[in-house]
Amino acid sequence: MIPCRVELTDFLSHRCTDGEPIVFDFDGAVLWSVSGDNGAGKSAIFDAITWTLFGAHRGGTLDAKRLISHGADLCSAAFVFTLDGTRYRVERSLRRRGSAKRAAYEWDARAESWKEIPGTASDKGFDAWRDDLLGLSYKAFTQSVLLLQGDSDRLIRAGSRERFEILAQLVDLSSYKRLEEAARERANTARGLKTALRQDLDRLHPVTPDERR
């Protein structure tokens, strides 16, 4: 995934006064640095990325209305990115009274316009499209693509099961999973054979001293 553009409208500290969104355009260079004073809204840019994609921000998935700028009635964010040569745009908006709206678009180079991807206007349809396209959960995304401030070592601190689930989304671990299943099946077979042999031994009569001689 290559980030291209983030658009914010009354999103956290990014308040719009002229009705036009505040734009962060990342096209034109391979490396960018976002700098500013504390509270200037640097982290809000990355909140917008995770919120548009996963409906989650630094505070989690609940209380999203906190994202609306003080004094505003609604907020919206858009994230444009390129993946496998295709340009996508995801949008999400929220009113103080009402539910969030979301949609995903694909750039139509021939028509030179955004084409809405069918079904992405609903939560279920959007989530299915995103999961199929990215193949990453929010947890995996924020531990590999976009590292959260103060939580960049979470993958290292994770337990073995959680770490495996995340790594399985990042790299192809199918051969290791097949090896694990084969080892588990072989162990189960060995345990079954051990039980059968033990039962056979228990059914044998004790050897007498005469038989030993």
Closest alpha carbon to 83 in 138, 133, 23: 133
Instruction: List the structure tokens of 126.
Output: 């959007």
Q: Output the CA–CA distances (angstroms, integers) from residue 192 to 5, 163, 182, 188, 202, in the order listed.
A: 59, 32, 15, 6, 15
Backbone angles phi, psi at 188, to 5 degrees: -65, -40
Can you give the pLDDT of all 213 residues of the chain as single tens digits? Answer: 889 999 999 998 888 878 789 899 998 888 888 888 887 888 888 889 989 999 887 765 566 788 888 888 889 999 999 999 999 999 999 988 877 899 999 999 999 999 999 999 999 999 999 999 988 888 777 777 666 655 556 666 667 777 677 676 666 667 777 898 999 999 999 999 999 999 999 898 888 889 888
pLDDT of the residue at 189: 94
pLDDT of the residue at 129: 94
Residue 189 CB neighbour total at 10 angstroms: 10
pLDDT of the residue at 64: 75
